[in-house]
A and B are shown apart, each in its own frame.
Chain A
Amino acid sequence: MSIFSRREFLQVAVATAAMTGAGSLGMTRLAAQQRLTEADLLGFEPLGNVSLVHLTDIHAQIKPILFREPSVNLGIGEVSGLPPHITGEDFLKAYNIEPGTPHAYALTNVDFVSLAQSYGKLGGLDRIATVLKSIRAERGAENTLFLDGGDTWHGSYTALETKGADMVELMTALKPDAMTGHWEFTLGQDRVKELIEGLEFAFLGGNVRDTEWDEAAFESTAWFERGGVKIAVIGQAFPYTPIANPRWMIPNWSFGVREEDVQANVDKARDEGAELVVLLSHNGFDVDRKLASRVTGIDVILTGHTHDALPEPVVIGKTLLIASGSNGKFLSRIDLDVSGGEMKGWRHKLIPIFSDVITPDADMAAMIDKVRAPYEEKLNRVVGKTDSLLYRRGNFNGTFDDLICAAMLEERDAEIALSPGFRWGTSLLPGQDITEDDIFNATGMTYPATYRLPMTGQFLHEILEDVADNLFNPDPYYQQGGDMVRVGGLGYTIDIAKPIGSRISDMTLLKTGEAIDPAREYAVAGWASVNEGTEGPPIWDVVMDWVGKQGTVSLPENRAVKVVGA
C-alpha cells in the first residue's frame, strides 16, 4: 500500500541535467509542468469509508517556499537507520525513488540546488486549499477529516506581527476539524487563550495541565462522525514546550509525554464507542514510535514536530504513523476502511505541494495577498544576496545558522556564537536575493533578544552536552526533537553514541586554533534564550545589519563540527 505508485515514479523519472547558475525560479513552472500534472499529484484510488487529511508544522509559511530536507538526521539506539533517520541517497534507495525526479527533490537534499531550479517552490496555503477542495469534492466532506498538527501560528513576519491572527484567519478558511500546538504557546498564555476562544474548531492538548489545580488545561478529545464511523481525535501538544521554549510565557501550563494519560484517554474513547482513534500529535517521530509500541488502541498517529516527510506510513503493531513534513510542502491523505469498530484497511499518499503544478485556489490566494499587503514593501525589501545555498535543517550546523552566527560574532563583537537548533526556517539558492521576509522566516519569534554574556569553557561544554542529550538520548521520551545547538567561532567533535557528559570533545576556538580552556571566560553571543529578562537587540536586526554590510554573503559548508559514533 505504497503512497506513490512505482509507476508514477517511472513516469516522472526524467533526467534533469544539472541546471546551475543564477537562482532564477522563473523557468520552473514550465519545467515542473513538463514532468508532473495536477492529476498526477492528486490521483488517488479511494478506499473504505473515511479520509484523513494531515497538515503539520507549516510554521506560518502561507506562500510557496524552498525547504531543503536534511542531509544528516541521525537516529540513536533502536531507531538507528530506521525512518525518518535515513537521508539523501539512502532515502531514495529505501523508498525506491529515482534520483532527479520531483519526489527525490521534494523528499531529500540530493541535487537540491539544481532540482530546485527545475521543480521550483513547494507549498502555499492557496495550493493546499486546492488539494483539500479536491479531496473533499471527490470523497465527500462528510467522509473527510482535516487535522492540523500545530506549529501553525508561528514562523513568519506576518504571524509575528499579527500575533498569530493571520494564521487563524487563513486556517479557519480551510476548515480544519481540530489542531494541537507547540510554537503557538510562544505567543504567551493570554494570547493563546484569546485565539482559542475565537476558533471555529477544536484546539486539543490532552497532555497539558493547569499548574495550579493539576487539571486538564485543554480538551483532550474531539468527536466526529465521518462516513458513518464514530471517530475520536485525541490531541497531544509538544510535551517539552516549557523546557524548549520559555516557561515564563506559559506559567500556568505544565506539559509532558504523560503516556498513562494518553492510554486513559484512548481507553475512555473506546469505552464511549469510538470506532477509530486518531492521535493528533506534536510529540516528534521517535517519541510517537515509542508511544505506539506501548499504548494500545490507537489506529493512526498523525505525527509532527520533527519535520519528517515519509512517503509511507511506519506501522508499529496495529498503529499507523504518518509523517507529513513541514512548511506546507506536503499534505498526507489516508483513506481508511473502518467497520465493526476496527480499521480493516488503509491507503496513504504523501502529496507534495508543487506550487508550479497545483493551481492556486483563487479565494485563498486573495486572502493571503490581503494578509501580506500591509507589510509587502517591508517583506520584499532586499537586504543582500547569497552566493551559497542557505538552509537550516539537519542535526548540526546549517549554512543559514552559520550566517546568523557570523552576524552575531561581528555585530556583537563576540568570540563564540550560539544559535538554537530549530527545524523551521526556509532555504535560499545560490544567487538569490535575501529579503526581510527570508530573514524573518529564519528568526521570527517572540523571544529574539541577542544577548552577549561571558561564559566559561566549562559552561559551554555543559551546554553542548545538555543539548546533545536532548537530541541523542537513546530513550526517545527524553528527547526534545530539536537539532543540535549551532555554534559560531567554535569547533568540536561529537560522539553521538556516548552518554551525556562524554559526547563532546576537542572544543576549539576557531579564531586562534586553541583548545577551549574550561576555566577561561569567553564572550558569547546568542539568541532565543528561554530566560525571562534576556537583553539585547532582536536577532533579525543583527542579521539584517550584517547582511546589509556584506552585500553578498558566502557561507561554505561548516567543517568545524565533526561527528563520530553514527
Chain B
Amino acid sequence: MTATVTRRSVLTLGAAAFVTGIVGLPARPAWSAEIADTIKEFTGGAEPQTGRVSIDAPEIAENGNTVPIGISIESPMTSDDYVADVIILAAGNPNPGVATFHFSPMSGEATAQTRMRLAKTQDIVAIAKMSDGSFYMDKRTVKVTIGGCGG
C-alpha cells in the first residue's frame, strides 16, 4: 500500500509545521539553522544515518511550481521492524516543511509520492524514523532553472 498526500494537505502541513525560532548549529554546514532545528526536533538530537531511504526526484525540475517527489524506505514493515514516520524538507524554501508521512506495519511498504513547489535550486531531505528509534536520511539536489538553451 502506498501513502499519498494530496496537494492541499501538503500545503497545510507546510504551513502548520516546523516553525521554530531557535538558532542552533546546523547539522550540515550548507543548511540553515531552521532546517537543522527541524531535523533536531524530529530526531530528538540523534544524527540520522545514511542509507535505506531513497528519494526519487528529478535532477532538474520541469516546473518548479509542482515537482514530483517520491520516497521509499527499505524495511520489512513487520510489527517488530517498521518505518514509523518520514519527514520531507525542502531546504531552500521560505517554509521548508513539505510533508510528514506516518506508516505502520499495516502499510505493507513505506513508499509515498507527493508534489512540492520549489522556489529555487535546493536540497530535498527525507528522514525516516524507524520503529527501533533509529533515523535514516537521504538528500537529493533538485535544480530549478530558467531553461531554454539546450540543444
Among B17-25, B53-61, B99-107, the stretch that binds chain A is B53-61
Say yes or no for B16: interface residue by CB 8 A criterion. Answer: no
For residue A466, which residues in chain B have a CB less than 8 angstroms away from its CB? Answer: 145-146
A552 to chain B, nearest CB (A): 30
Q: A466-482 interface mask toward B, CB cutoff 8 Å, 1 = contact, 0 = none?
A: 11011001010110111
- Docked pose: A466 CA to B63 CA in angstroms: 15
- Which residues on the B side are within 8 Å of A485 (C-beta)? 149
Inter-subunit contact A256/B59 (CB<8 Å): yes
The closest CB in chain B to the CB of A447 belongs to B148
Cβ distance B74 to chain A, nearest Cβ, rounded Å: 14
State whether the Cβ of A240 lies closer than 8 Å to any Cβ in chain B: yes
Per-residue B-contact encoding for A413-428, CB less than 8 Å = 1, 0 else: 0000000111110000
B29 within 8 A of A: no
B121 touching A260, Cβ below 8 Å:
no
Contact of A477 among B59, B121, B149, B151 (CB under 8 A): B59
B145 touches A183 (CB 8 A): no
**B146 contacts A480, C-beta separation under 8 Å:** no
Q: Cβ of B147 < 8 Å from any Cβ of A?
A: yes
Question: Which residues of A are found within 8 Å of B68, using beta-carbon distances?
Answer: 214, 254
In this complex, what residue of B is CB-closest to A253?
Answer: B62
Give the distance to chain A from B71, nearest Cβ to Cβ, in Å: 13
Per-residue CB proximity of B40-68 to A under 8 Å, as 1/0? 00000000000000001011111100001
Chain A residue numbers with a CB within 8 Å of B63 are: 242, 247
Given A240-B60, A256-B59: A482 in contact with B149 (beta carbons within 8 A): yes
> Nearest Cβ in chain A — how far from B116, in angstroms?
15
Of B56, B60, B148, B149, which one neighbours A478 at CB under 8 angstroms?
A: B60
A463→B146 contact, CB < 8 A: yes
Indicate which residue in B56, B121, B149 contacts A467 across the interface (CB closer than 8 Å).
Answer: B149
Taking the complex as formed, is B94 at the interface, i.e. its CB lies under 8 A from any CB of chain A? no
A146 at the interface (CB under 8 A from B): no
Closest CB of chain B to A240's CB: distance in Å?
A: 6
- Measured CB to CB, the closest approach of chain A to B29, in angstroms, equals 14
**Given that A243-B62, A257-B59 are contacting pairs, would A469 and B145 also be in contact in the complex, using a CB cutoff of 8 Å?**
yes
A243–B151 contact, CB under 8 A?
A: no
Q: Interface digits, B110-151 against A, CB 8 Å rule (1 contact, 0 not)?
A: 000000000001000000000000000000010101111111
What distance in Å separates the Cβ of B122 from its nearest Cβ neighbour in chain A? 12
* Interface size in chain B (residues, C-beta < 8 A): 18
CB–CB A528/B148 < 8 A: yes
Instruction: Tell me which residues from 251 to 269 in chain A have a Cβ below 8 Å from any Cβ of chain B.
Output: 254-257, 260
Q: Does A244 make an interface contact (CB < 8 A)?
A: yes
| Cβ contact within 8 Å between A243 and B59 | no
| CB neighbours of A529 from chain B (8 A) | 148
- Could you tell me the distance between the alpha carbons of A482 and B149 in the complex, rounded to whole angstroms? 6
A493 contacts partner chain B, Cβ-Cβ < 8 Å: no
User: B150 — which chain A residues lie within 8 A by C-beta?
Assistant: 238, 240-241, 243-245, 470, 480-482
The total number of A-B Cβ pairs within 8 Å is 83
Q: Which residues of B sit under 8 angstroms from A260, Cβ to Cβ?
A: 56
A182 to B151, CA, bound (A): 8
- Counting contact residues on chain A (CB < 8 A from B), the size range is 35 or more
- The B-contacting residues of A in range 450-474, CB under 8 angstroms, are 462-463, 466-467, 469-470, 473
Name A518-566 residues within 8 Å CB distance of B. Answer: 528-530
C-alpha spacing A388/B39, complex, angstroms: 60
Closest residue on chain B to residue A183 by CB atoms: B151
Closest to A247 in B: B62
Q: Which of B60, B62, B146, B151 has the most CB of A within 10 A?
A: B151
Complex: how many Å from CA A480 to CA B149?
A: 8
> Measured between alpha carbons, how far is A481 from B58 in the docked complex, in Å?
16
Whether a CB of chain B sits under 8 angstroms from the CB of A379 is no
Q: Within 8 Å CB of B61, what residues of A?
A: 243
Q: Is the CB of B62 within 8 A of A242?
A: yes
Determine if A500 is an interface residue (Cβ-Cβ < 8 Å): yes
Bound-state Cα–Cα, A240 to B144, Å = 12
Q: Are A245 and B151 in contact (CB under 8 A)?
A: yes
> Which residue of A is nearest B143, CB measured?
A478
- Which residues of chain B have C-beta atoms less than 8 A from A463's C-beta? 146
Complex contacts, A238 vs chain B, CB 8 Å? 150-151
Q: Which residue of B lies closest to A243 (CB)?
A: B147
Say how far A316's CB is from chain B's closest CB, in angstroms.
19
The reply to whether A500 and B59 contact each other, CB–CB distance below 8 Å, is no
Residues of B contacting A462 in the complex (Cβ-Cβ under 8 angstroms): 146
In the assembled complex, the Cα of A243 lies from the Cα of B62 at a distance in Å of 6
Q: Which residue of B lies closest to A477 (CB)?
A: B59
- Is A423's CB under 8 angstroms from B151's CB? yes
14 of the cross-chain contacts (CB-CB < 8 Å) are A214-B68, A242-B63, A243-B145, A244-B148, A256-B58, A420-B149, A424-B151, A466-B146, A469-B143, A470-B149, A480-B60, A480-B145, A480-B147, A528-B148
Partner-B contacts on A (CB < 8 A): 151, 182-183, 214, 238, 240-245, 247, 254-257, 260, 305, 420-424, 462-463, 466-467, 469-470, 473, 475, 477-478, 480-485, 500, 528-530
4 closest Cβ contacts across the A-B interface?
Answer: A244-B150, A480-B150, A243-B147, A482-B150
Q: A463-B146, A475-B59, A480-B60 are in contact. List 7 more A-B contacts (CB 8 A).
A: A182-B151, A183-B151, A240-B60, A244-B151, A254-B62, A422-B151, A423-B151
